[in-house]
Amino acid sequence: MNTNDRPFIVGMGGTPALNSSSERALRVALGETARLGADTALFAGPSLLLPMYAPGVAGGEVQARELVAALRRADGIIMSSPSYHGGLSGLLKNALDYTEEMRDDGRPYFEGRAVGLIVCVQGWQAVGTTLTSMRSLVHALRGWPTPLGVGINTSAGGLSTDHCQSEQDVSLQLKKLAEQVVWFARQSASQQKAA
């Protein structure tokens, strides 16, 4: 846990398009973690425009070094992705590939960290497959996906208009996701102190 028992939560995701629904959802969730007493860092779509990952090359890319340094410090992580053809974006997957630089750390990859997951898509069909693939990636990185994963159907109104998935429903889900990430980060820190 970082200083003053304030967990450090890293948000990553979105798309290169400014103000994308996945970036807006990420900002809402990350803002909620700050309201709960966490320090935060945001790596939104444009800051994730990294060269394709190649082992051992990350040292020369400033944005990649900053991302990896933040993830090393992180007590929790929130990832948000659009769903492209039933899976997460290549932008986010490439950013996750840079965590290979953390393989020899004392806490490798996402070990001991809660990871909240958000998927934004037009229609419900790809929400489940994308959340499932993101959970599988988090498990492979030794992280703990939060019990709640948030799927936002942007064509049903989530983060845009008032249809069957209201803005209020989406906000409540993002708030709960943030609470789970912060709670786990604090529980993990108290376990580490007791050990």
Is residue 29 a contact partner of residue 116, using CB atoms and an 8 Å limit? yes
- What pLDDT was estimated at residue 155? 79
Q: How many residues does the chain have?
A: 195
| Whether CATH 3.40.50.300 fits 3-194 | no
Q: Look up residue 51 and give its DSSP letter.
A: P
In the numeric block, which tokens belong to residue 114? Answer: 């809660």
In the numeric block, which tokens belong to residue 103? Answer: 């393989």
83-128 confidence digits (pLDDT tens): 988 899 999 999 999 999 999 999 999 999 999 999 999 888 889 9
Residue ranges of domains in the chain: 3-194
What is the spatial distance between Cα 149 and Cα 60, in angstroms, rounded to a whole number? 34
Cβ contacts of 43 within 8 Å, gap of 6 or more? 10, 11, 12, 13, 66, 67, 70, 95
How many CB atoms within 10 Å of residue 107?
Answer: 13
20-52 confidence digits (pLDDT tens): 999 999 999 999 999 999 999 999 988 999 999
- What pLDDT was estimated at residue 193? 67
- What pLDDT was estimated at residue 10? 98
72-82 confidence digits (pLDDT tens): 999 999 999 99
